[in-house]
Amino acid sequence: MQERRKAKRLPATLSLEISNLYKQDNVQVSNLNAPIEVTDISKTGIGFRSESVLPVAYYFNANIQFGAEDTLHSVVKIIRSQPEAGNVTTYGCEFVGMADVLSYLFDDYDQKLVETE
């Protein structure tokens, strides 16, 4: 299969919780409190798993911390979902409106992963 990813995926182990989802036409899902487990991250988006059913084409705010110093505040759009065994669904998301200048966060994270191997 041909690789179609725009950026290298890096392994990640993060546990987050989505509180609110929204769409551009002011449709909002509030008080969701959906726990998610981030499995990988790249310069263009994140992949995660969840037992919650989340709608595709909705957005959420994410604060992702890289080490003790760097935190990425971003809007994330759910672009695909795929059911897995049991009640788990895998989701693919893309960062929306993130400045290219922040790509150094991913380069630094990748370098730290290489150093710990």
| CA trace torsion 47, 94, 36, 113 (10° rounding) | 50
pTM value is 0.79
Query: How many residues make up the chain in this entry?
Result: 117
Q: What is residue 29's predicted lDDT score, i.e. its pLDDT? A: 86
* DSSP at 26: S
Q: What is the CA radius of gyration of the chain?
A: 14
* DSSP at 43: S
pLDDT of 51-100, one tens digit each? 999 999 999 988 887 766 777 788 999 999 999 988 999 999 999 977 67
pLDDT reading at 1 higher than 60: no
Which domains are seen in the chain, by residue range? 10-116 (2.40.10.220)
- Single-letter amino acid, residue 22: Y
pLDDT reading at 102 higher than 80: no
